[in-house]
Amino acid sequence: MEDSLWYELYDTNNNCVYYYNPDTEESVWNKPTTIGELLSVVNDLRNGNKPDALKIIQDFESEVYEIIPDNEENVQQNVQENVQENVQENIQKEPENLVYDPNILSEVQMDGYFQGVPKILQFLGNQLSLLGGANTPGIFQNDGDSNIVNEMTEKLKKGDLNWNATDINVVTTLFFNWLTENQVGNPIIKDEYYDSILNTLENEEALLNIILSMPEPNKKTLAFFIQILQEYVLEEVSNVTGVSLEMIVALFNPYIFSGLKTGTDPDLEAFFFESLILILDTFSILESNN
């Protein structure tokens, strides 16, 4: 007896098609020989988890996509139309967050800013310096006035960097807010580097080679971030601010990896972050053209 129905699905994790029978809940990689009816469901945006095939099919049927009889030309056309529609919808709805944009600067230098490093991050780092962060006791430990923070946030969202802050606590709060938002979708260090980094901590040269192999925007953003913090761990600065290397690591270590990875191995993550502060030659990375 032939099985009445099979779905043809696409697994983005393995970049290949597989087949699912909703009656028997059986999944197979090779096309079954006992097919009564074959329906092709092609969606490379949502079908990334093979065990959830039935839920995906139900979603398609009830909410998003029609299930189309096996016709490759129609399937591809349907996917392209829906992808374009979703992209336009996301563009219209996406808020103006303080996001990480690797294309924030298209020139090698622009008004003293480094290419490839988010301009907002550089602006906030410069504000910290202008307001004498290295001479501020308890730096990074106090929140700024929420009304002023909200006002300045709106300016940043609009790309308005033609202003100078007067309260360093407002700047540090904006700094933490940017790091928090950036971490959600654009972590400074991508997830695929996490394991290799933590497995190479005893080999300084190998660790630095991993950092240097990262994509240029991520590598330079990391270097700029670390460069800001390196000033605050100098003994003469720490004596004034009362903020030690250990405190800097505890405050900022959680922001370099994605939320999925941060906290997986907190001791090694902290050791890695401390090592970066102590050994990373940030100037050579930021001034390089490749």
pLDDT in the model for residue 40:
65
For residue 96, pLDDT over 90 is answered with no
pLDDT in the model for residue 266:
94
Q: Encode pLDDT of 5-26 as tens digits.
A: 777 776 666 656 677 777 777 7
Asked if 43 and 10 count as a contact pair (C-beta separation under 8 A), the reply is yes
- Does the predicted TM-score (pTM) go above 0.75? no
- Terminal-residue alpha carbon distance, the chain: 62
Least confidently predicted of 81-85, 91-95, 258-262: 91-95
Sign of CA dihedral 253, 255, 257, 260: positive
Average pLDDT of 171-179?
A: 94
pLDDT in the model for residue 133:
96
User: Averaging pLDDT over each range in 96-100, 239-243, 286-290, which range is the top one?
Assistant: 239-243
The C-alpha atoms of residue 183 and residue 270 are separated, in whole angstroms, by 17
| Beta bridge partner(s), residue 68 | 40
pLDDT in the model for residue 64:
34
The C-alpha atoms of residue 27 and residue 40 are separated, in whole angstroms, by 14
For residue 71, pLDDT over 50 is answered with no
pLDDT in the model for residue 288:
83
Closest CA to 36 of 21, 48, 17, 51: 21
Residue-averaged pLDDT of the chain:
77
Least confidently predicted of 45-59, 227-241, 263-277: 45-59
For residue 37, pLDDT over 60 is answered with yes
Q: Encode pLDDT of 103-146 as tens digits.
A: 333 333 345 678 788 888 999 999 999 999 999 999 999 999 99
Which residue has tokens 């909703």? 22
Q: Encode pLDDT of 221-243 as tens digits.
A: 999 999 999 999 999 999 999 99
